[in-house]
């Protein structure tokens, strides 16, 4: 392309831009007319949001927002942000993840429909064992004015301090295997019948007639009761949630609380129900969202939640334990937003384009299984080290302010000192990476693999690849103790350094420390166990709270009768079917989430991945991490954990980020070649370490 054709193409692009603006203006007028007609229809005394929604192409909750008279009468002050149920086949609704919940959006409720499919949770990211043949291509920032326009904030969207007080919900704890239910200080023994949602609701409300708003299932997983009838566990969960519940219907949300519909998750689903002829709203949740249980009674688990609430109240006088850790974490963070100073008006949200770029190019935990011949066929040992409360160590510095674009030319023009300062700061960089010719250790930087958000870590000498990475990982690659990697900066996003999460993380770290100490020194066994569970809940609040900043594009999962196959959305992916229903899913873009800050999550994740490679312990004048082990001794990375063939003398002072010896299995052992084999060895190693009493 020569200069003349380039200028002509630019002129054509500007013309197209103007046409798009006109089309958007026309669309806005049509949407305004639609909204006006909905309000008019709502004036009819028998109008129902469920009928208006499909006619308007909106969700039921969207209609309720426009016409509040169609909403239930009861209101709540709990402003939660949780997944919502999918709409009728012809409409769209937002999808939210139990671990990474974006902002609440109005949503339809159709009891016969399947709900949202979750994104992969931190501990469930599959291991990548080898470099793929056809890796996906990561997006880039457009050249010129088009790309420069990305470097802005979304108008009118910012994280602000709430001006209301959360209201606690009446909560009970139920073991669905034994029927033991704990409410406040009382224990009840229920007959749960078939353990269907209907039987559970009937039994609980018979025992607690004054009403319950949240039922935590502590054991039993009733949503798995017919799992053998379905090809996928998620299908069994969806069938359990959507089974008939006489006297109840799927909750459509209420007032400020936009929770609506059920949330399908293979292990930790959420069922939301509303009394047909009353004001009762109740949700059935799994306590597994908060921590793993090991035969703990409902009474112990209730004590853990009480201790958690009391510990949080020492730092947040208005703290409320909400339905999930991510909701709780995000709510607590908003209550640390400064009331004075530069960000008293809130933290602005990035442009949708930059949020989309970060979603596509900033992965979370490193999950990699290294197999023979890179490791021995027979392992002498398998030693597991887990970084204690890892993310809390990396929340002290985060990106703030309006991001700047740093092109390759700009970066090259800087002095070495300026380049080092930029790479050590809060940035996200597009790179061309070359592995040294004599490299013989693990890979240092992620490269895209096939599949959504899948990554592998090239380690072959001389390998070259293009990727995106955060400053901490780049710094580790350039200054690692073995030899520096060759890195070429192609493009970059650079923010000012700030501390938007520091106060929040410090308070959670102190809460975690206090509860951990109680668990260690408490003389009563049940209270010691409750304190331990409460400390694990604090970990989840921080872990999933950080994840909730990493807004994901909304994903809708729905079903359509086989007889109406033509009604499956054209852009939907069919993910399953049986004799009656077709199950599909489709993305629906980003929500207008005032607390969407993927740049914060990306920075913390990058720091955590870098610390798996090398981490300095200043007080001990030593280092820890994979690069401080001999070549061929690293078996796997799993989010915050390292699996090695040799034990290490790494310091552990019970501080966030310290490497804790978690499992130790003596060999010889066959090297795991699948994630399932790794987890089997992991569990055996943990059991063996516990049996020998060697845990740190």
504-559 pLDDT, tens digit per residue, is 999 999 999 999 999 989 889 999 999 999 999 999 999 999 999 987 766 666 67
Spatial CB neighbours of 456, under 8 Å, sequence gap ≥ 6: 128, 130, 131, 132, 135, 368, 443, 446, 447, 449
Q: Tell me: pLDDT of 97 over 90.
A: no
Q: Which two tokens stand for residue 193?
A: 């019948």
Q: What's the confidence (pLDDT) of residue 27?
A: 85
**Cβ–Cβ < 8 Å for 411, 470:** no
Tell me how far apart the alpha carbons of residues 179 and 369 are, in angstroms, rounded to a whole number: 41
Burial readout 564-602 (b: 16 or more C-beta within 10 A, e: otherwise): eeeebbeebeeebeeeebbbbbbebebbebbbbbbbbbb
Average pLDDT value for the chain: 84
**Cβ–Cβ < 8 Å for 546, 99:** no
3-state secondary structure of 432: strand
Task: Tell whether omega for the bond before 373 is within 30 degrees of 0, i.e. cis.
Answer: yes
Q: Which two tokens stand for residue 169?
A: 């919900």
Q: Tell me: pLDDT of 96 over 60.
A: no
User: What are the φ and ψ backbone dihedral angles of 531, each rounded to 5 degrees?
Assistant: -65, -40
Pairing status of strand 270-275 against strand 153-159: unpaired
Residues 519, 520, 525, 527, Cα dihedral to 10°: -20
Spatial CB neighbours of 54, under 8 Å, sequence gap ≥ 6: 87, 88, 90, 91
Other CB atoms within a 10 A radius of the CB of residue 361 amount to 22
**Sign of the torsion formed by the C-alpha atoms of 128, 455, 544 and 119:** negative
Tell me how far apart the alpha carbons of residues 227 and 363 are, in angstroms, rounded to a whole number: 32
Strand boundaries in 472-631, DSSP class E: 486-498, 555-561, 573-577, 581-587, 615-617, 622-624
Please name the residue that has the structure tokens 């790179």: 431
pLDDT (tens digit per residue) in 233-251: 888 998 999 889 999 988 8
H/E element holding 665? strand 659-670
**Cβ–Cβ < 8 Å for 585, 555:** yes
Q: What's the confidence (pLDDT) of residue 46?
A: 78
Spatial CB neighbours of 131, under 8 Å, sequence gap ≥ 6: 447, 449, 456, 458, 460, 463
pLDDT band at 417 (very low <50, low <70, confident <90, very high): very high
Q: What's the confidence (pLDDT) of residue 125?
A: 37
Average pLDDT over residues 255-284: 82
Q: What's the confidence (pLDDT) of residue 556?
A: 64
Q: Tell me: pLDDT of 101 over 60.
A: no
Q: What's the confidence (pLDDT) of residue 72?
A: 44
**Cβ–Cβ < 8 Å for 159, 337:** yes
Q: Which two tokens stand for residue 258?
A: 């936009």
Report the range of poorest mean pLDDT among 3-17, 157-171, 217-231, 602-616. Answer: 3-17
Q: Tell me: pLDDT of 90 over 70.
A: no
Strand partners, 555: 587
Spatial CB neighbours of 485, under 8 Å, sequence gap ≥ 6: 433, 434, 435, 436, 439, 444, 445, 477, 478
Q: What's the confidence (pLDDT) of residue 557?
A: 63
Tell me how far apart the alpha carbons of residues 308 and 312 are, in angstroms, rounded to a whole number: 6
**Cβ–Cβ < 8 Å for 465, 433:** yes
Spatial CB neighbours of 695, under 8 Å, sequence gap ≥ 6: 661, 662, 689
Tell me how far apart the alpha carbons of residues 139 and 250 are, in angstroms, rounded to a whole number: 40
| pLDDT above 70 coverage of the chain, percent | 84
| pLDDT above 90 coverage of the chain, percent | 60
* pTM of the model as a whole: 0.76
pLDDT band at 259 (very low <50, low <70, confident <90, very high): low
Tell me how far apart the alpha carbons of residues 668 and 377 are, in angstroms, rounded to a whole number: 10
Chain CA centroid to CA 478, Å: 30
pLDDT band at 142 (very low <50, low <70, confident <90, very high): very high
What's the count of helices (H) and strands (E) in the chain, helices before strands?
Answer: 16, 25
pLDDT (tens digit per residue) in 336-380: 999 998 998 899 999 999 999 999 999 888 999 999 999 999 999
Q: What's the confidence (pLDDT) of residue 210?
A: 84
Tell me how far apart the alpha carbons of residues 35 and 12 are, in angstroms, rounded to a whole number: 35
3-state secondary structure of 274: strand
Q: Which two tokens stand for residue 330?
A: 């995000």
Q: Tell me: pLDDT of 93 over 50.
A: no
H/E element holding 429? strand 427-434
Tell me how far apart the alpha carbons of residues 366 and 628 are, in angstroms, rounded to a whole number: 17
Tell me how far apart the alpha carbons of residues 468 and 466 are, in angstroms, rounded to a whole number: 7
Residue scoring higher pLDDT (561 or 305): 305
Report the range of poorest mean pLDDT among 8-17, 104-113, 360-369. Answer: 104-113
Q: Tell me: pLDDT of 381 over 70.
A: yes
Q: What is the number of residues in the chain?
A: 696
pLDDT band at 133 (very low <50, low <70, confident <90, very high): low
Please name the residue that has the structure tokens 């969202």: 289
Q: What's the confidence (pLDDT) of residue 603?
A: 96
Query: How many Cα atoms occupy the beta-carbon half-sphere of 221 within 13 Å?
Result: 17
Report the range of poorest mean pLDDT among 87-101, 429-443, 462-476. Answer: 87-101
Please name the residue that has the structure tokens 């109740």: 282
**Closest CA relative to residue 85, chosen from 119, 50, 57, 111:** 111
Q: What is the 3-state secondary structure (H, E, C) of 86-147?
A: CCCCCCCCCCCCCCCCCCCCCCCCCCCCCCCCCCCCHHHCCCECCCCCCCCCCCCCCCHHHH
pLDDT band at 131 (very low <50, low <70, confident <90, very high): very low
pLDDT band at 696 (very low <50, low <70, confident <90, very high): very low
Tell me how far apart the alpha carbons of residues 199 and 271 are, in angstroms, rounded to a whole number: 13
pLDDT band at 588 (very low <50, low <70, confident <90, very high): low
Residues 559, 564, 567, 573, Cα dihedral to 10°: 50
Q: What is the largest CA-CA distance in the chain?
A: 82
**Cβ–Cβ < 8 Å for 672, 638:** no
Q: What's the confidence (pLDDT) of residue 99?
A: 36
Q: Alpha carbon of 466 to those of 49, 358, 453, 663: distances in Å?
A: 50, 16, 15, 36
Strand partners, 248: 275
Please name the residue that has the structure tokens 């409320």: 320
Tell me how far apart the alpha carbons of residues 255 and 61 are, in angstroms, rounded to a whole number: 10
Tell me how far apart the alpha carbons of residues 395 and 416 are, in angstroms, rounded to a whole number: 27
**Closest CA relative to residue 462, chosen from 479, 486, 446, 483:** 486
Average pLDDT over residues 37-42: 85
Q: What's the confidence (pLDDT) of residue 4?
A: 66
Query: How many Cα atoms occupy the beta-carbon half-sphere of 455 within 13 Å?
Result: 26
């Amino acid at each position: 392309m020569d200069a003349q054709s380039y200028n002509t193409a630019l002129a054509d692009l500007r013309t197209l831009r103007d046409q798009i603006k006109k089309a958007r203006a026309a669309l806005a007028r049509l949407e305004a007319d639609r909204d006006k007609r909905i309000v008019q229809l709502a004036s009819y005394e028998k109008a129902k949001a469920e009928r208006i929604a499909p006619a308007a192409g909106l969700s039921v909750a969207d209609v309720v927002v426009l016409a509040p008279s169609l909403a239930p009468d009861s209101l709540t002050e709990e402003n939660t942000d949780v997944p919502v149920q999918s709409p009728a086949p012809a409409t769209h609704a937002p999808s939210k993840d139990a671990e990474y919940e974006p902002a609440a959006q109005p949503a339809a409720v159709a009891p016969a429909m399947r709900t949202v499919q979750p994104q992969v949770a931190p501990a469930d990211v599959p291991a990548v064992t080898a470099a793929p043949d056809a890796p996906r291509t990561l997006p880039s920032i457009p050249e010129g004015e088009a790309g420069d326009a990305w470097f802005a904030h979304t108008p009118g969207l910012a994280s602000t301090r709430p001006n209301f007080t959360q209201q606690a919900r009446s909560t009970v704890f139920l073991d669905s295997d034994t029927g033991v239910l704990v409410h406040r200080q009382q224990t009840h023994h229920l007959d749960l019948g078939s353990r269907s949602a209907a039987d559970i609701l009937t039994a609980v409300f018979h025992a607690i007639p004054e009403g319950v708003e949240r039922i935590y299932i502590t054991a039993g997983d009733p949503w798995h009761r017919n799992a053998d009838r379905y090809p996928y566990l998620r299908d069994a969960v969806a069938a359990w949630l959507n089974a008939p519940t006489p006297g109840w219907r799927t909750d459509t949300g209420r007032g400020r609380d936009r929770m609506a519909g059920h949330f399908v998750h293979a292990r930790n689903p959420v069922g939301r129900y509303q009394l047909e002829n009353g004001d009762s709203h109740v949700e059935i949740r799994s306590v597994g969202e908060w921590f793993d249980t090991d035969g703990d009674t409902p009474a112990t688990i209730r004590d853990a939640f009480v201790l958690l609430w009391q510990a949080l109240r020492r730092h947040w006088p208005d703290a409320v334990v909400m339905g999930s850790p991510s909701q709780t974490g995000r709510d607590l963070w908003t209550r640390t937003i400064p009331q004075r100073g530069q960000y008293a008006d809130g933290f602005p949200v990035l442009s949708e384009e930059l949020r989309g770029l970060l979603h596509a190019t900033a992965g979370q935990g490193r999950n990699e299984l290294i197999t023979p011949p890179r490791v021995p066929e027979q392992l002498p040992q398998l030693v597991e080290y887990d970084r204690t409360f890892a993310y809390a160590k990396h929340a002290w510095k985060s990106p703030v302010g309006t991001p700047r674009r740093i092109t390759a030319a700009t970066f090259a023009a800087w002095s070495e000192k300026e380049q080092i300062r930029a790479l050590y700061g809060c940035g996200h960089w597009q790179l061309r990476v070359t592995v040294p010719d004599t490299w013989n250790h693990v890979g240092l930087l992620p490269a895209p693999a096939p599949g959504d958000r899948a990554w592998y870590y090239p380690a072959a000498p001389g390998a070259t690849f293009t990727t995106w990475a955060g400053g901490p990982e780049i710094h580790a690659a350039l200054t690692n103790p073995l030899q520096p990697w060759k890195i070429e900066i192609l493009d970059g996003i650079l923010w000012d350094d700030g501390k938007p999460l520091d106060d929040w993380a410090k308070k959670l770290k102190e809460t975690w420390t206090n509860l951990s100490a109680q668990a260690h020194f408490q003389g009563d066994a049940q209270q010691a166990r409750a304190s331990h569970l409460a400390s694990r809940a604090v970990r989840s609040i921080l872990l999933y709270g950080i994840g909730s900043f990493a807004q994901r594009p909304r994903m809708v999962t729905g079903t359509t009768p086989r007889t109406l196959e033509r009604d499956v959305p054209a852009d939907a992916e069919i993910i399953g079917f049986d004799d009656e229903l077709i199950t599909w899913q489709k993305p629906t873009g980003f929500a207008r989430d005032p607390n969407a800050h993927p740049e914060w999550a990306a920075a913390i994740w990058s720091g955590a991945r870098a610390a798996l490679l090398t981490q300095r312990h200043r007080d001990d004048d030593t280092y820890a991490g994979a690069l401080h082990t001999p070549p061929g001794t690293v078996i796997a990375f799993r989010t915050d954990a390292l699996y090695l063939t040799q034990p290490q003398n790494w310091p552990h002072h019970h501080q966030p980020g310290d490497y804790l010896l978690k499992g130790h299995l003596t060999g010889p052992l066959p090297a795991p070649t699948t994630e399932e084999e790794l987890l089997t060895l992991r569990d055996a190693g943990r059991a063996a370490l516990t049996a020998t009493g060697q845990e740190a």
